[in-house]
Chains A and B, each alone.
Chain A
Amino acid sequence: MNISGRNYLFSAILLIIGAFLIGGCATEEHRFVKKTAFKDANQIVIEFAGPVDEAWAGNPSNYTVYEEPDPDIKLKIQDITLSADRKTVILSFADPLNQNQPHVLTANNISAEGKSLGTAILSVKKVYLGYLFSILIGAMIINNFVFTKYLGLCVFFGTSQKKSTAVGMGITFTIVIVVSAMMAWFLYQFVLKPYRLDFLQIVVFIGLVSLSVQAVDTILRKVNPLLFKAFGVYLVLVIANCIIIAVPLILADNSYNAFESLMLALGAGLGFLIALFLMSSVRERLELANVPPTYRGLPIAFVVAGLFALAFLGFSGMSIF
């Protein structure tokens, strides 16, 4: 295929990703809260859409803050300052905050101009490139889907016999998972969640996955027959992989935004590629080894995967930045 065809494909993919990114910035958690952010080592800033009541804002019992992994440990608020226009509240804490963890902030019965505006549950996160990078590396290596979450094993053992097959499968899988996870995220955030159709998530996600596999198949066949010839056979297998349905479910559970979802999907795909490549390298050598007849084939592959899983256990608990 010529270069123009490839250009079209790339610009189409970029456009889709761009659209998602813009969509991601527009999500809001409570209609009256504009922004939440960390400030200094021990402060959280909340910006409201309008002026709030001084009596409400100054009462520390109206706020509860905890780190997302441990809801039982409430952080102690030392001081509250309200800005002159009564739109910005700065909460100061007794101890410095661990800003790598997302914090959950609950503001009870926000009251503005004497009216109660309901309770807001907000998550305070540090959004910067390093945080996104840590999600990517986390999904790729520290929480590798194959070796530490034990997903996608059928396809993993089926396609890790040769290096060429492994790389082909890994690349195809990465493309499909990024496309389908972003579509699933979009649909979940903007259709299923607002209309309270969460219970349909399994049906919708599996339908979306089949749809995106079919779409990638059709587009690839038309745009780049050479690439299709190389990777087309793996497309059917992609749908039998649990990871591709697990990632949208994880995204839905953790309410990630667009950037984080993209990074998680990319990390999951690349992690699968790494796992396949490592495994296929070993299995190519195993062909030449003298394996007991009862262990030949799958059983020895399982034992090797167990050794890999033990090795990957060494990454657990590691944190970046």
Chain B
Amino acid sequence: MPATTKTNFQLISNGILNENPIFRLALSMCPAVGISTTVMNGIMLGIAVLFVQVFSSCTIAAIKNYIHPRIRIPTYTLTIATWVTVIDLVLAAYMPAAYKEMGIFVKLIVAFAIITMRLEIFACKNSVSASFWDGIGMGLGFMFGMVALGFVRELLGMGTLLGYDVLGVRPLLFFVLPAAGFFCVGIMMAMFNYMELVYNRKRRAKGI
């Protein structure tokens, strides 16, 4: 793939819609199921992933000419691990409550397939600025997915949003259960599929 010709805005919207990491690419599902119980968790982990994605994309884009192709995967892994260590220590020092809530998942950002994949197919072929915007798009896309899941689960499960009482009742306590994460992701994926199906049908009808 040659260097991208997309504008910065296209790069960002690509990450949020066309190649949404959670609903379209179905990568990094573990946090989407595990800790999407509240909107706040989604925002916090989203910020952490955004940070790691942007900084490792920029690092790899900056040093891409010096990496021998045969050791590129270990280089990516170590770069990501370095930035994850940075965000892990920063969160532990300045936001201990949120850090405790997210538990082991902050450290596990290092194993998220989405970050390595973006480095492999985008950052190692493009300029630093394009990689920066692509990283922002992917990070925001991940955050969008997490917040959408957290929104549904927090509203239906506890009747609150960001900790504020919205509904006054708890409609379906079931959604707070960890196991409900699987159902939520499955149903949301099906909804995305359905929208695509309807969209394609309409377009085909127009074409004929």
**Interfacial chain A residues near B113, Cβ < 8 Å:** 154, 240
Known A-B contacts A305-B182, A313-B177; the reply to A154 vs B29 at CB < 8 A is yes
Closest to B185 in A: A302
**Interfacial chain A residues near B108, Cβ < 8 Å:** 151, 242, 245-246, 249
**Interfacial chain B residues near A157, Cβ < 8 Å:** 26, 29
Contact of B110 among A149, A153, A202, A310 (CB under 8 A): A202
Q: Give the interface segment out of A65-73, A203-211, A259-267.
A: A203-211
Interface contact A203-B82, CB-CB below 8 Å: yes
Known A-B contacts A242-B30, A245-B110; the reply to A300 vs B81 at CB < 8 A is no
Is B183 located at the chain interface by the 8 A CB criterion?
yes
Closest to A309 in B: B179
Proximity string of chain B (76-105) to chain A, C-beta cutoff 8 Å, 1 when within and 0 when not: 011001101100110000000000000010
**Bound form: Cα–Cα A157–B182 in Å:** 12
**Interfacial chain B residues near A151, Cβ < 8 Å:** 30, 34, 108
List A289-321 residues whose CB lies under 8 Å from chain B.
Answer: 292-295, 298-303, 305-306, 309-310, 313
List A174-213 residues whose CB lies under 8 Å from chain B.
Answer: 199-200, 202-203, 206-207, 210
How many B residues face the partner with a CB closer than 8 A? 40
**Interfacial chain B residues near A199, Cβ < 8 Å:** 85, 89
B114, chain A: closest CB distance, angstroms: 9
Is A64 located at the chain interface by the 8 A CB criterion?
no
**Bound form: Cα–Cα A295–B84 in Å:** 35
Contact of A206 among B110, B181, B190, B191 (CB under 8 A): B110
Interface contact B193-A299, CB-CB below 8 Å: yes
Is B163 located at the chain interface by the 8 A CB criterion?
no
**Bound form: Cα–Cα A303–B181 in Å:** 9
Is B169 located at the chain interface by the 8 A CB criterion?
no
Interface contact B81-A203, CB-CB below 8 Å: yes
Interface contact A202-B34, CB-CB below 8 Å: no
Interface contact A295-B182, CB-CB below 8 Å: no
Is B14 located at the chain interface by the 8 A CB criterion?
no
Interface contact A203-B78, CB-CB below 8 Å: yes
Interface contact B182-A202, CB-CB below 8 Å: no
Closest to B92 in A: A199
Is A150 located at the chain interface by the 8 A CB criterion?
yes
Known A-B contacts A154-B28, A202-B84, A202-B85; the reply to A302 vs B182 at CB < 8 A is yes
22 contacts between A and B (CB under 8 A): A150-B178, A151-B30, A153-B33, A154-B27, A154-B30, A202-B84, A203-B81, A206-B78, A206-B110, A207-B81, A210-B74, A210-B77, A242-B111, A245-B111, A295-B190, A295-B193, A299-B186, A302-B182, A303-B183, A309-B178, A309-B179, A310-B177
Which B residues fall within an 8 A CB radius of A?
26-30, 33-34, 73-74, 77-78, 81-82, 84-85, 88-89, 104, 107-108, 110-111, 113, 116, 177-183, 185-187, 189-191, 193-194, 197
